[in-house]
Amino acid sequence: MMAKIHDPIIVVEDLVVRYGDRTVLDGISFEVRQGDVFVILGGSGSGKTTLLRNLVGLMRPASGRILIRGEDFTAMSEDERIELRKKMGMSFQGSALLQSLSLADNVALPLREHTALEESTIDIMTRIKLELVGLGGFEEYLPSALSGGMKKRAGIARAMAMDPEFMFYDEPSAGLDPIVAAGIDQLIRKLQETFRLTSIVVTHEMESVKLIADTVCMLKGGCVVGIGTLEELEQSEHPYVQQFFARRPDDDQSEESAYARALTGLE
C-alpha cells in the first residue's frame, strides 16, 4: 500500500506517546519525502495534533524515534534542537502571534533573536515575507486588528521568516470560511512549490486534503489506519477510512467515546 519512497527526510519510527498512563499515540511509523505535502488526517481526538507537537519537539515521546535528516530529534541536546528549529516553521491553529507585537515585529522576531542582520535588512525581509502571504502594507497592524484568515497568513509569514526547510501546519483551515480556507490551501501549495518546502499538514478537512496532499496518513485512536496517496486511500479496504471518506456517521458511538474517555481520564 505504501508508496515507493525516495530520500525520506523525516522518518518516524514506532512512536509511542503517553499522557500519564494513557497511551495517545501507539506505535506510529511513517516517512515523509523531501518537498512533499504530507497530510495527517483524522477525526477529533485521533491524536493528530499530539503527533504534530511531537514532530516539532513541543512534546517528548515515551518511546520511538523521530529522525530528521537522519538525526534523532528526540535525543538531541537543547542547543542542537534550537539549531534544528531554526529550519522549522510552524503555523498554529490559532496563529499564535504575539499579541503585544505588530505584524512586522512578529515576523522579525526570529530574525532579531537568531541572526546578526542589520535592522534595515530585517525590515526588508519582513516586508518580503508579509508580501509573500498577501499581507503587504499591514506591517504596523496589531494581531488583534486582523481577521482570522489574515492572522493565519501572518502566522505563516512568521513561520517563513527564517527560510525554513520544513513547515508544519496545525489545522490551517479550521474556523475559516471556505473561500479564505481555499486561499490558505493555495498558499500552502504555493510555498511548497516555490521553496521546495517539506510541508506537514494536520487537518480533518477533506476539501483541503484533495487540494494539497501528496501523501495522506490517516490516524484513528492513536494508530495509523492508512497511508498513501489520496487515490490509494480511496481504494482502502479499512472500514474507518471508507467511513471517513464517505462522511458516514458512527453506527455505534461506544468505541469513539471509550477512546475519548481514555484521553480525558473521565469515567
Partner 1 sequence: MTNFSLAGHVGRWTLNQLAIGARVSVLMVDTFVWMVLAPLRGKGLRFKAAIEDFVEFGVRSLPIVGMICFLIGVIIALQSSYTLAKWGANRFIATLVAVSALREMAPLMTAILITGRSGSAITAEIGTMKVGEEIDALDVMGLNPIKYLVVPKFMAMVLAVPCVTVMAMFIMIFGGFVASVYIVGVDPFIYIDMTRQSLVEKDLLTGMVKSIFFGIAICWVGVYRGLQVEGGAEGVGRQTTSSVVTAIFLIIIIDLIFTVLFYFV
* SS3 assignment, position 39: strand
* Cα angle for residues 263, 20, 61 (degrees, 5° grid): 95
Determine if 113 is a binding residue for partner 1 (CB under 8 A). yes
CB of 77 within 8 A of CB of 231?
A: no
Which positions from 67 to 96 touch partner 1 by CB under 8 A, shown as an x/- string?
--------------xxx-xx-xxx-xxx-x
Determine if 166 is a binding residue for partner 1 (CB under 8 A). no
Using CB under 8 A, which residues numbered 211 to 250 contact partner 1?
none
Which positions from 11 to 50 touch partner 1 by CB under 8 A, shown as an x/- string?
----------------------------------------
Q: Site for partner 1 (CB under 8 A): how many residues? A: 27
- Residue 24 CB, shortest distance to partner 1, in Å, is 17
Determine if 115 is a binding residue for partner 1 (CB under 8 A). no
Name which of 94 and 178 has its Cβ closer to partner 1.
Answer: 94
Q: How far is CA 75 from CA 23, 67, 89, 169, 185, in A?
A: 21, 10, 20, 23, 33
Q: Find, among 123, 217, 120, 204, the residue nearest to 161 by Cα.
A: 123
* SS3 assignment, position 94: coil
- Residue 148 CB, shortest distance to partner 1, in Å, is 13
Alpha-carbon gap, residue 102 to 176, rounded angstroms: 22
Determine if 153 is a binding residue for partner 1 (CB under 8 A). no
* SS3 assignment, position 148: helix
Alpha-carbon gap, residue 129 to 201, rounded angstroms: 20
Determine if 103 is a binding residue for partner 1 (CB under 8 A). no
* Binding-site ranges for partner 1 (CB under 8 A): 53, 56-58, 81-83, 85-86, 88-90, 92-94, 96-99, 109-110, 113-114, 155, 158, 162, 168
